[in-house]
Structure 1
Amino acid sequence: MSNKMNQFQGSNDYVVTDELMHAVNVAIALQKPLLIKGEPGTGKTMLAESISEALKKDLIIWNIKSTTKAQDGLYVYDTVQRLYDSQFGEGDVAEIKKYIKLGKLGEAFAADEQVVLLIDEIDKADLEFPNDLLWELDKMEFYINETKETIRTKHRPIVIITSNAEKELPDAFLRRCIFHYIEFPNQEKMEEIVRVHFGDVEQKLLTQAMETFYWIREMKEIQKKPSTSELLDWLQALMISGISIDRIKAEIPYAGVLLKKNQDIDTMYEIKEKGYSLKRWL
């Protein structure tokens, strides 16, 4: 990895493990997309933001939906606007190029400087979507039929692709990526993450909240386990409210900040009432 300028070492607001840092730098050096998997709330999207900040490069985000097609990321030909202009005499409709709008992938290819491109939650799209991207991600170019023009990348973007593992991705696609799975942080790493966001949080409050948080995550009956983002929101709620620290484990206040389903909240309180205490976390 000869280019020291493109060495990622984390950023001020993102705690990165050595393994993740190495995965990012290998992907940059080999000029391959980095595929990041992990459960929601483990910082997959924030990783791209951190890389952008640390390397001082613009970030382009392509949010994938169930209806997204690979073509959407390249360009869109606005036929409706052209028809409107032809009917009402607005401008020169013969100039097709002005009706071509680049998608997020097209923007990354055409950028004058290297950018970080985040393809977020690729597993939301249909099964053909990743394969449809293979050619463009390999060759870093695409053809615009309407203008008979080939768009070639000026500076190969740093491509970060995230997946919540909702569905399997094609083998051909996986072979072209560097892969890293972000494990859910243990308590020690989580405290480090919390301290980045709330450096002045009282240690006793943090300890009580962390023990409660991991106790809830251990419940097999919980359908949607609270993530890092929910813990941070809960801590902020506890600090703002000024609630007595002794009440945190006894009452688990503001449970709706941690758990987002009624049945999960009910389940948690039911288990607590049955006497499954927090003492093993002490």
Structure 2
Amino acid sequence: MTGTAPAMKFQSTASYVATEDLQMAVNAAVTLQKPLLVKGEPGTGKTMLAEQIADSLGLKLVAWHIKSTTRAQQGLYEYDAVSRLRDSQLGDDRVHDIGNYILKGKLWQAFESEEQVVLLIDEIDKADIEFPNDLLLELDKMEFHVYETQTQIKAKHRPIVIITSNNEKELPDAFLRRCFFHYIQFPDRNTLQDIVQVHYPDIKSELLSHALDVFFDVRKVQGLKKKPSTSELIDWLKLLMSDDLPESVFQDKDASKAIPPLYGALLKNEQDVHLLEKLAFMHRAKRS
């Protein structure tokens, strides 16, 4: 197995704005040959990061999206005993080679690649608490054993491993020790402007400015169950642009009008809508 990292460094791409500290974290993980564990609010671009790293470095992406039912073994391989039994009953000659019933997982696909790839393990905290520990050896040594065929699978090229987490569960200390960690801070106003410009280069500056005022005001509201994220801002702006709303919608700073236009793109549950409506009602009551 070769462990050399790409000569070029990860940078922002035409469709992704990476802050300087995020670029440093990615390149540090590549240099150390450690998995990069990325945390942050949902909607801050953690999954997209892996896609953009692959794009920036000119590498293939192998993505493993984790669910609550996902087992670590599935990332290595699965033995399809049911199909082998069926074929044996039908007299199929395939049954004589057990290798025909070994289904390669995402790690195996990344390990056998003739070129270095980016391996994304997305939302690792969705799985069982033992899931990260079950991958310790494989991610550390970049190899695993296939018991059915008695073969050892070793990575031809050490993949760049990106692991995302939404902090739904605490990850084991032994797993954390093997990772390089980075928390994606929520973007400041200037960074958000840059991100929006990437998606909508022709957006009117006045619309963007007013929309960001409203967006950050909503995020500041105490007690929100889910603060609107970057991805929701992008969706909201798309609606605002398509509806061509007048600027007067944003110029009214009256707190009694606490619900932003087309709020369904920003607020994702009825509790938060009711909270803003309650704040608007309380403000009107104070003024009356």
TM-score bucket (shorter structure): over 0.9
Residue 271 of structure 2, aligned match among 254, 263, 267? 263
In the alignment, is the contact (CA less than 8 A) between 1:205 and 1:245 conserved in 2?
yes
Match of 1:241 in 2: 243
Query: CA separation in 2, counterparts of 1:32 and 1:92?
Result: 40
Deviation at 1:56, TM superposition (A): 0.9
The answer to which of 249-258 and 200-209 deviates more is 249-258
SS of the residue aligned with 1:68? coil
Query: CA separation in 2, counterparts of 1:4 and 1:138?
Result: 19
Residue 83 of structure 1, aligned match among 56, 79, 85? 85
Residue by residue over 1:88-115, the C-alpha shift from the partner in whole angstroms, topping out at 9 and shown as x without a partner, is 2334211110110111111111111110
Aligned ranges 1:4-153 → 2 under 5 Å: 5-153=7-155
Deviation at 1:249, TM superposition (A): 6.0
Deviation at 1:12, TM superposition (A): 1.1
- CA RMSD across the alignment: 1.5
Residue by residue over 1:63-82, the C-alpha shift from the partner in whole angstroms, topping out at 9 and shown as x without a partner, is 11112111110001111111
Match of 1:162 in 2: 164
In the alignment, is the contact (CA less than 8 A) between 1:33 and 1:159 conserved in 2?
yes
Unaligned runs of 5+ in 1: 277-282
Cα distance change on mapping 1:249 and 1:162 into 2, 3 Å: farther
In the alignment, is the contact (CA less than 8 A) between 1:78 and 1:100 conserved in 2?
yes
Deviation at 1:267, TM superposition (A): 1.4
Deviation at 1:160, TM superposition (A): 0.3
SS of the residue aligned with 1:142? strand
In the alignment, is the contact (CA less than 8 A) between 1:212 and 1:249 conserved in 2?
no
In the alignment, is the contact (CA less than 8 A) between 1:36 and 1:180 conserved in 2?
yes
Match of 1:208 in 2: 210
Identical-residue share of aligned pairs (%) = 55
Query: CA separation in 2, counterparts of 1:242 and 1:80?
Result: 57
Cα distance change on mapping 1:3 and 1:113 into 2, 3 Å: closer
After TM superposition, the score normalised by the length of structure 1 is: 0.94
Deviation at 1:5, TM superposition (A): 2.6
Query: CA separation in 2, counterparts of 1:164 and 1:228?
Result: 15
Letter in 1 for 2:276: M
Cα distance change on mapping 1:3 and 1:129 into 2, 3 Å: closer
Q: Which runs of 4+ in 1 moved over 3 A?
A: 248-251
Residue by residue over 1:242-281, the C-alpha shift from the partner in whole angstroms, topping out at 9 and shown as x without a partner, is 11121146562111111110121121232134339xxxxx
Matched, 1:180 2:182: yes
The answer to which of 230-239 and 264-273 deviates more is 264-273
SS of the residue aligned with 2:226? coil
In the alignment, is the contact (CA less than 8 A) between 2:5 and 2:30 conserved in 1?
no
Query: CA separation in 2, counterparts of 1:192 and 1:53?
Result: 19
Q: How many residues align?
A: 275
Cα distance change on mapping 1:28 and 1:175 into 2, 3 Å: same
The answer to which of 63-72 and 231-240 deviates more is 63-72
Query: CA separation in 1, counterparts of 2:101 and 2:118?
Result: 26
Query: CA separation in 1, counterparts of 2:231 and 2:105?
Result: 30
Query: CA separation in 1, counterparts of 2:200 and 2:176?
Result: 37
The answer to which of 62-71 and 264-273 deviates more is 264-273
Cα distance change on mapping 1:92 and 1:272 into 2, 3 Å: same
